[in-house]
A and B are shown apart, each in its own frame.
Chain A
Amino acid sequence: MSAGVGVDLENLWIRFGDFVAVRDANVNINGGDFFSFLGPSGCGKTTILRAVSGFLEPSEGNVLIGGNNMKGIGPNKRPTALIFQNLALFPLMKVWENITFSMEIKGASSAERRKRADELLEMIALPDQGDKLPSELSGGQRQRVAIARALCAEPDVLLLDEPLSALDLKLRQHMRTELREIQKRVGITFIYITHDQGEALTMSDNIAVMRAGVIDQIADGKTIYNDPATAFAASFVGENNVFRGKIKRVMGNEALIATNRSGDLVARISTANQGKMKEGDDAMMFIRPEALAIAPDGATGDHFVTARVNHEEFEGNAFNIFTEGDGGKEIKVSLPNLGQSFEDHTGQIITLEYETRNAVLVPAGELAAE
């Protein structure tokens, strides 16, 4: 299997009038990678995809596919295939005609096209469905037909614009695994657009977290989850509790923060910001709900937080405690359900503890909207 064709974005700016949709994006996507752009709606991720596919010329900067500058090359001439959010299957063409539309354009004979369609239908586990119309298939089946249609064009890069968003939860989770398997089998580069962090984390080799036209962080899923570079990345990917404050003292890669409401706490400076944060800086400390635990009463120190419990809930796999927090936001504590008994704390003041490596410090910044 070939190493695949990489995609590079160099100093990419995309403007619509005065509105800057993409601001100076620099991304190197390795050939054969499953790469995701993750961000809330309106953050510019679809705009980047359209620039890669050729439907949109960047205002500044370059899109390189396999090292070749794509400037001035139309979408029908690029080695990319796009899977649309609504799939955009041709409703009046049969499934096999849909799949082999790209071959029809190249003038392939009907027999060749049928043969290729059968192969691809086999691959997407829909044998003998070629003569149906797209409307006669289920949502998941249509999804697979759209993938087959794009793969039939033998692109070097497959672009996917939130293709799973129309499916129900179970099917979506199933399709994640399937997409990842298909990508490994065909070995081409996948660029995936999503606002769903679960999709991005489970499928991707690397993820770019986007906010309002800016790429905040590019890293693999584990790094983004455990070691976010910005307040936005920390708050957008997964649930997180935020503690605002000022840095009181920097101690190597750790720092002591004077938090607004929980006293002085110690945290690990995130890798991307090490050496860049100094005393007096506004900072945000993030601790995941599952990284907090209930400490013995009366414990004090720089990794204990006391707070009054607002309410509690039982989620099945976890028991969640919500306490008063910083800036009107509650602190969520998620205790895994291992069969132990949970006492009701509502209204009580409890002490929470965490390990320093689980408290990540980043410069103060914009948080993701809830």
Chain B
Amino acid sequence: MPGFLKEFLNRNGTGMGLAILGLVLFWTIGLIILPQLSMLDFSFRPNLPPPEIGGPKDVYTLENYRYLVFGPEGGSQDYNTVDLRVFFRTLVAAVCVTIFNLILCYPIAYYLGQTKGNHIRIFAIMLIIPYWINEILRAFALRIIFGETGVLNTMLVGMGVWDTPFDFIRNDIALYAGLGYAYILLMIFPMYNVIESLDKNQIEAARDLGAPWWRIHWRVVIPYAKPGISSGCTMVFMLSAGALAAPQILGGPSSLWFTQLIYQQFNDNNDWPQGAAYAIVLLVTCILFVLAVMRLFKVNMGDIGK
């Protein structure tokens, strides 16, 4: 038995230790790893009617992955441009949402983290309470704000900023706003956690040595907050790329999100293997992308947990 396991059992007692261990293993293996493995298995199989499952046609194939890149066999185009475009657009848009969120949330997190007083707790509560409202309702509320006859357009047209209503939805502004808003907390709180522990004297020392405010952030605060920034960015990127409700409700008619394609495969086409393949591609690409960016910015895996 490895040392850490022995210590764990000693500390918690054998019975309790085994129970905790069992639950954790059930959680990770039973509820996360096995379903994902079964999805992986699905993705390599053809979509067959129930009677043929297990029959001679039920063999492993790369067809589902091939389909994403090249489209239907004998199709008119060399590549599956429609789906690929949606795929890359989703990734680029998720990156944009992440960057937009970072720029928006860093000042908030900095303010919350470096200011003392009771009002900070009130601000934090004001940030949290909107999340009691469910996602669908929040998305539709944004539709009311951004719609053609919505609050924003009525105001702007009324003030004479422009003559005809601007279509925020078709131009995806509502979608970005919705996605950005949905994950604000996941960006703010990891950064806030780190910045709160930054010694105020560090900032004053930099200032005393002649640094202007942007330099203080660039050389002192941001390097210190890096674990929080990377943790927030990773979560926002992963969740934006994997979001479904916001794109469904706030996305323009011409701008599908890749998750919507996956949903269609599973639900409308009843093609689980195809859907599983798309989902796996999205998952793996996102993980590789995040790892690459982490490497670029010299962030350790351990920092993410901070």
Contacts and interface: CB of A to CB of B under 8 A. Distances in A.
A114 to B, nearest CB: 17
Contacts of B224: 91-92
Interface stretch (A76-84, A243-251, A341-349): A76-84
A86 B199 contact: yes
B227 to A, nearest CB: 11
A84 B205 contact: yes
Given A86-B199, A101-B209, A149-B209, A75 B204 contact: yes
22 contacts: A76-B209, A76-B212, A77-B210, A80-B208, A81-B208, A82-B208, A88-B202, A88-B205, A90-B202, A90-B205, A90-B206, A92-B223, A92-B224, A101-B209, A101-B219, A102-B209, A102-B210, A105-B209, A105-B211, A105-B212, A105-B215, A106-B210
B208 A101 contact: no
Contacts of A86: 199, 201
A153 interface: yes
Contact of A84 (B201, B212, B219, B223): B201
Contacts of B223: 92
Contact of B204 (A55, A91, A105): A55
A101 B204 contact: no
A105 B210 contact: yes
B201 A88 contact: yes
Interface string B247-271: 0000000000000000000000000
Given A55-B204, A101-B206, A88 B199 contact: yes
**Which of B199, B208, B223 is the most central at the interface, judged by chain A CB atoms within 10 Å of its CB?**
B208
Given A101-B219, A105-B215, A88 B209 contact: no
B204 A88 contact: yes
A53 interface: yes
Interface in B47-74: none
A105 B205 CA distance: 13
A101 B201 contact: no
A76 B208 contact: yes
Contacts of B204: 55, 75, 82, 84, 88
Interface string A84-108: 1110111111000000011011100
Contacts of B215: 105
A9 to B, nearest CB: 19
B299 interface: no
B210 A153 contact: yes
A89 B209 CA distance: 12
A224 to B, nearest CB: 30
Interface in A127-157: 149-150, 153
B207 interface: yes
Contacts of B206: 90, 101
Contacts, number: 60
Given A84-B201, A84-B204, A84-B205, A90 B212 contact: no
B192 to A, nearest CB: 19
B208 A53 contact: yes
A76 B210 contact: yes
B220 interface: yes
Nearest to B211: A105
Interface centre among B209, B210, B211 (most CB of A within 10 A): B209
A85 B211 CA distance: 20
B211 to A, nearest CB: 5
Contacts of B207: 55, 74-76
A149 B202 CA distance: 13
Given A90-B220, A92-B224, A101-B219, A81 B209 contact: yes
Of the listed residues A55, A91, A106, the one surrounded by the most CB atoms of chain B closer than 10 A to its CB is A91
Contacts of B205: 82, 84, 88-90
Nearest to B200: A88
Interface string B186-227: 000000000000010110111111111001000110011000
Contacts of B211: 76, 101, 105
Contact of A153 (B201, B209, B212, B220): B209
Nearest to A55: B204
A75 B208 contact: yes
Contacts of B202: 88, 90
A86 B200 CA distance: 11
A86 B204 CA distance: 12
A322 B219 CA distance: 58
Contacts of B199: 86, 88
A150 B223 CA distance: 22
B264 to A, nearest CB: 47
B213 to A, nearest CB: 9
Contacts of A75: 204, 207-208
A144 B238 CA distance: 46
A74 B210 CA distance: 9
Contacts of A92: 223-224
A82 B219 CA distance: 19
- A-B pairs with the 5 shortest C-beta distances? A88-B201, A88-B205, A102-B209, A84-B201, A76-B210
